[in-house]
Structure 1
């Protein structure tokens, strides 16, 4: 899909506030409401827009501990990888997980209520997975840009 400047502007506005009305979006981009609606629909149909959601404040939900965890595996066979990926995907503490290049195999963004909950997550869950050999934690001190 070829995007022009109006498309890019519209997508930026949707990322800032996906609840903005079609009329407000159209006005900000400089097009009619029907043309704006058609473009948004085309973005959705093309898979450019995966979905819409709400940004939550983790601290308001009691999730005050935030870390990046670099995980190394001892086993990379398909069965152990599948079990690791399924287990990590099912845990609500793991907000994001990426297979990466470099010193670690996986990079996870983890949020917990506090350091004790994080310690339980590590000991009772992560280190209990047979494929996991080690993990390095980097505690997030503050969010700069999300």
Structure 2
């Protein structure tokens, strides 16, 4: 039977494993076990339990955008004309299909309904994305774009109570 998030009680070793895995994704089980003070078999079992309980959502390799000439990051705030469930869901499905969109968040406390983080080569490609893809949606009432001048912090790990 799979453990659910409520059933698994995390201890300091579990939290240490999760922190190390977030920061050093290429650690072998042997290396991870050594760093947390376990032998490889119990360490492997703990990682499997953490996966099954949903604490580990998946594994990924982070690529360097600059090596692919993706130099322009834009944040686009999108305001929709109507807020029916069908319109919101249709917008989310369409936006999710665009490779340029790194993040899409439904907002509250703002004039915008959604905020998109978009990664493209340059302003020419941004214009193509904006005019040929995003704003072809009939339900968009307005967009506001901001461009990243300097990335001060980019973190994929979440804070853990260690």
TM-score normalised over the length of structure 1: 0.94
The residue aligned with 2:28 is 21
Residue 78 of structure 1 and its aligned partner are, at CA, apart by: 2.2
Which stretch has the larger CA shift, 89-98 or 134-143? Answer: 134-143
The answer as to whether partners of 1:100 and 1:107 remain within 8 angstroms in 2 is yes
Distance 1:123 1:102 in 2: 27
Question: Which of 48, 56, 69 is 1:49 aligned to?
Answer: 56
Distance 1:142 1:25 in 2: 34
Question: Which of 123, 128, 135 is 1:120 aligned to?
Answer: 128
Please give the root-mean-square deviation of Cα atoms over the aligned residues, in Å.
1.1
TM-score normalised over the length of structure 2: 0.86
Residue 143 of structure 1 and its aligned partner are, at CA, apart by: 2.0
1:95-123, Cα deviation, whole Å (9 max, x unpaired): 11111112121111100111111011111
Structure 2 unmatched ranges of 5 or more: 1-7, 155-162
Residue 124 of structure 1 and its aligned partner are, at CA, apart by: 1.3
The residue aligned with 1:90 is 97
Give the total of aligned pairs.
146
The reply to whether residue 111 of structure 1 matches residue 155 of structure 2 is no
Structure 1 unmatched ranges of 5 or more: none
Residue 133 of structure 1 and its aligned partner are, at CA, apart by: 1.1
